[in-house]
């Protein structure tokens, strides 16, 4: 990676959130901006109803995943909720060199690895308004079994404690406000807004 101009990594923007916080819907909304491209991760988990291979994720087997790890084809990879997820290296650098902001929709473990490797990258954490609303959204989307919902709610408690390490925090209470914030923070490559905004109290009383 050292052969690249490090400044291109200012365009790399990580977005993390617990399951059900609305991250994917918000990212879908801002991805129509022609200055933004969203990286498609590989995962070893089964597709959910409605998910399309090559659009939502590249769905691959655990064996394929292991082979790609060995071949060093990931910028980072992690085990999340019992499945493998990874950010493929190919295409990212190419897009960054074209001055495109690349969004990585990844968990806090991946975010920590990327920030260490590329300190100029920026990261955004999306919080739900409360734990109760998170649970309600997870149940209403109707895509996961009860045990998966329970595991994701347990993991959310850990994930929420990581929000304070991020450059920007968005509370997804009103969707269109959160969408505007996500768009402006994603394009804030010089961290101008990050320096201006005072971070909200990070852990809500009911988290």
Positions in the binding site for ligand 5GP (CB under 6 A):
16, 19, 41, 45, 76, 78, 80-81, 85-87, 105-107, 109-110
Q: Residue 7 or 161: which CB sits closer to ligand 5GP?
A: 161
Minimum distance, C-beta of residue 42 to ligand 5GP, in the bound complex (Å): 7
Phi and psi (nearest 5°) for 62? -60, -40
Q: How far is the CB of 29 from ligand 5GP (least distance, A)?
A: 16
Strands 74-80 and 83-88: antiparallel
Q: Which residue, among 49, 82, 84, has the nearest Cα to 64 in the 3D structure?
A: 84
**Strand 83-88 with 58-59, pairing:** unpaired
> Is residue 15 within 8 Å of residue 105, measured between CB atoms?
yes
What is the smallest separation between the CB atom of 33 and ligand 5GP, expressed in angstroms?
20
Nearer to ligand 5GP, 73 or 109 (CB): 109
- The nearest distance, CB 68 to ligand 5GP, in angstroms, is 12
Q: At a CB cut-off of 8 Å and minimum separation 6, what does 110 contact?
A: 14, 16, 76, 77, 78, 85, 87, 104
CA distance 173 to 22: 10
Rank residues 7 and 47 by Cβ distance to ligand 5GP and give the closer one.
47
| Neighbour count for residue 51 (Cβ, 10 Å) | 14
CB of 190 to ligand 5GP, least distance (A): 25
C-beta nearest to ligand 5GP: residue: 110
């Amino acid at each position: 990676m050292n052969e690249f101009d490090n400044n291109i990594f200012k365009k790399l923007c990580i977005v993390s959130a617990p399951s059900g916080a609305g991250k994917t819907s918000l990212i879908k909304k801002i991805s129509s901006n022609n200055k933004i491209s969203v990286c498609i991760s590989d995962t070893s988990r089964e597709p959910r109803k409605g998910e399309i291979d090559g659009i939502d994720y590249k769905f691959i087997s655990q064996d394929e995943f292991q082979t790609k790890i060995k071949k060093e084809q990931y910028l980072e990879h992690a085990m999340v909720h019992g499945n493998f997820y990874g950010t493929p290296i190919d295409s990212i650098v190419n897009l960054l060199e074209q001055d495109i902001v690349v969004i990585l929709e990844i968990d806090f473990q991946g975010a920590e690895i990327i920030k260490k490797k590329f300190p100029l990258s920026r990261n955004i954490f999306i919080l739900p308004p409360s734990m109760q609303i998170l649970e309600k959204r997870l149940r209403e989307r109707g895509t996961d079994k009860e045990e998966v919902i329970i595991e994701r709610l347990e993991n959310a408690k850990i994930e929420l404690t990581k929000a304070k390490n991020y450059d920007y925090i968005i509370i997804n209470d009103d969707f269109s406000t959160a969408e505007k914030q996500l768009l402006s923070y994603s394009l804030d490559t010089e961290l101008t807004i990050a320096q201006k905004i005072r971070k909200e109290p990070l852990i809500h009383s009911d988290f």
